[in-house]
Amino acid sequence: MDFSHAFENNERWVRQKLNLDDNYFRELARGQKPDLLYIGCSDSRVTPELIMSAEPGDIFVHRNMANIIPNDDLNALSVIDYAVNHLEVGHIVVCGHYGCGGVKAAMQTDDLDMLNPWLKHVRDVYRVHKDELTNITDENDRYKRLVELNVYEQCANLLKMPKVQRARKEWQLNLHGWVFDLHSGRLIDLDFDMDALWDELKSIYSLS
């Protein structure tokens, strides 16, 4: 996108919406009631509304480098709190993507200065799953598997949160782990068994 055309493009979009529905923005301004919280990477190629063909108001979104959910990050925690306690979403998706620069950087031994504290979370995922990952001889396959395992561990971080635990009990909040494949444009459901994951965690992390 040419930055200088941003407002021109916006005007074109407004006209397109109003041509379809005179009340489009009036209805949009009434409020939001999305059923999905999407937690994904900030990568400019992975835009959730586009890849799911969603409209404004359909998805509550939080994005950061490598789709990480640290349990001490106030930004992520605030978004999750609002989505669960106020919007009462029915689904939370953690979506990684193959070709993730943050995950690839975490696989390297370089000192990345300010990025080190953030990428430590992905390196911790590598440490936990080191045996599996080191047995993958192809570097690209190892990289893709770390993308998937990072999604899995971020789902685990969600399950450690009391508000998420309560929502799973009270209105069967569903958690999902996905990956977006840049080469095909397709979303892949990693089909994690969240109940089995919770069974592994609950003896230590159950707080509700």
**Catalytic site positions:** 41, 43, 45, 97, 100
Which of 137, 56, 125 has the alpha carbon at shortest distance from 96? 125
Tell me how crowded residue 73 is: count the other CB atoms within 10 A of its CB: 16
Q: What DSSP character marks residue 108?
A: S
Which of 155, 147, 151 has the alpha carbon at shortest distance from 173? 155
CB 60 within 8 A of CB 36: yes
* Distance of alpha carbon 123 from alpha carbon 127, whole angstroms: 6
Burial label for 69, CB within 10 Å (0-12, 13-18, 19+), is buried
Distances (CA, A) of 28 to 8, 37, 50: 21, 18, 18
The token pair at 69 is 């959910």
